[in-house]
Chain A
Amino acid sequence: MPGIEDLYREIILDHYRTPRNRGELQPPAISSEGHNPLCGDDIRIYLDVADGVVRDVKFSGQGCSISQSSTSMMTVAIKGKTVVEVGAFVRRFKHMMTLADNDEPVDESINLGDIEALQGVVKFPVRIKCATLGWNTLLEALTESTK
């Protein structure tokens, strides 16, 4: 059995205790809501996209340490990136989570930084859904922003 310390790394607990970019953005920022039907968690992602660049991002909702910290770290990482860069970044993350989303290539040279700490989640397969909740919700918001 993998040790619990593989899951609850210090950086993860730090983002759980002190989440970054928590809050809301007013329209015209768009938002998207995601649910984890397994545990009842919900997350809302607010996205301010202008000229193909993520100008600002915030999140609200309730969830476990893994979903909250993963989303917190995600918001830090994507702020200022272009929509295209964010798409590649999400693919790289989901690849690490062993979720081969589609046939699109994964750029393994992308550095996930602190988010690499979530690698341990893979050893606890039930929790992969927690780690990816915010990311899937982000994808929905991105789709919304390009409409």
Chain B
Amino acid sequence: MAGANRDFDSAAIRRDFPILATQINGKPLVYLDSANTSQKPNIVIDAMSKFMRETYAPINRSAYTLAANATELYEGARNAVAKFINANSSQEIVFTKNATEALNLLVNSWGRANLKTGDVVLLTHMEHHANIVPWQMLQQERGIELRWVPLTSDYQLDLTSLETLLSGVKVFSFTSMSNVLGTINPVEKLCAAAHAAGAIAIVDACQSVPHTHTDVRALGADFVTFSSHKMCGPSGLGVLWGRKELLEAMPPFLGGGNMISEVRLDGFTCAELPAKFEAGTPAIAEVIGLGAAVEFLSSVGMANIRQHEIAMSSYVLDLLTTRFGDDITIHGPRNPELRGATFSFAFRGIHPHDLSQVLDQSNVCVRAGHHCAKPLMKIIGANATARASFYLYNTTTDADALADALDSASDIF
């Protein structure tokens, strides 16, 4: 049961998130859209506010004390993120606008430098558009071939033909956890298979880094991308981790200030990592906010968060199937150990857009639509689904509120 974890004090965690005390029309907020974007704890809000009130200044380019202090906070946050995912060095942490930009950086920099006509990139049927469209853009430009790992009937990647699919592949780029199905993929195994076939492994870890302990070295990946705003940090910030030797060999992505060591009329030389990939003034306050977010998540304990979400998954699956039986179809694995607490579902034939509108009457916030994974939606035979996603601050009370609100939707349609 959720809450049985003695190291996990749900009430205390909820108090850390001021928005969860917000009421709309006199009713509490039931926020079940964290796979989309997570809410922010006080420590993040305060760190950003304190920085902007007391220390705001440019980084990496001015000698005065205020700027030096700002740079120290910014780089301190980079160190915190590096430690959080067990990177070898903070030089391997590149800050981007979002995870989408991190993937675009890889396709444009590594992809353009290493892929030519006829080269093969392997993706999966569960990818987010951010891990599909940039490759398709390169395909249009360069004529690379895209191959796809299909799904099994129980919403896992079908790995029976993986070796064949990987034959001749240069890049295997895949999600660590489906943002639609909740399926957790065997990342270590997939990275090892990619390497055995001579391919590099890129992991879109947006849905797993916020929810479970991530050790990029243990995963064996070459590149890992994730987003700040899904892990209690601010929006406008993504992270690219890459093995140093690969990042060093890559050409720059965006050009401009901060990313150069020298510019002449006849050319330029790049700055060292990670500045090479951080052209222009970065999201300074946001990076400092993310530093606070990883401090917060670490203090709660990623293993505790994962245990809480397994318990939540177990509770939600039992609740929805017991209460609604065949009236609800959950598109995702039934085993809580094999999934995150993200549930896409169809309910009594009610269109997800209508469903989310009615749930909103009870302040139950769920996503409705294709979740930026249209190819996957087509494969599971849905134009759209409703999606309820749970995080460390959600409790069984939220799940019960969802179930009650679903019942009220039937009254209208």
Contacts and interface: CB of A to CB of B under 8 A. Distances in A.
A7 B357 CA distance: 10
Most chain-B Cβ atoms within 10 A of its Cβ — which of A8, A40, A130? Answer: A40
B369 A62 contact: no
A34 interface: no
B361 A63 contact: no
B24 A65 contact: no
Most chain-A Cβ atoms within 10 A of its Cβ — which of B351, B353, B361, B383? Answer: B353
A39 B351 CA distance: 10
B369 A39 contact: yes
B25 A8 contact: no
Nearest to B385: A40
Interface string B31-69: 000000000000000000000000000000000000000
Nearest to A4: B361
Contacts of A64: 351-354
Interface in B335-383: 351-354, 357-358, 361, 368-370, 374, 377, 383
A8 B412 contact: yes
Contact of A65 (B351, B368, B370): B351
Contacts, number: 44
Contact of A40 (B357, B369, B412): B369
A4 B412 contact: yes
Nearest to B373: A40
A13 interface: yes
Contacts of A127: 353, 357
Interface residues of B, number: 18
Contacts of A65: 351, 354, 413
B357 A39 contact: no
A44 to B, nearest CB: 13
A63 B370 CA distance: 12
B383 A62 contact: yes
A40 B383 contact: yes
Given A13-B413, A40-B374, A130 B353 contact: yes
B357 A4 contact: yes
Interface of B: 24-25, 351-354, 357-358, 361, 368-370, 374, 377, 383-384, 412-413
When A and B form their complex, which 9 residue pairs have the shortest distance between CB atoms, in order from nearest? A40-B370, A64-B353, A64-B351, A39-B369, A40-B384, A62-B383, A40-B383, A65-B354, A39-B353
5 contacts: A4-B412, A13-B412, A13-B413, A16-B413, A124-B357
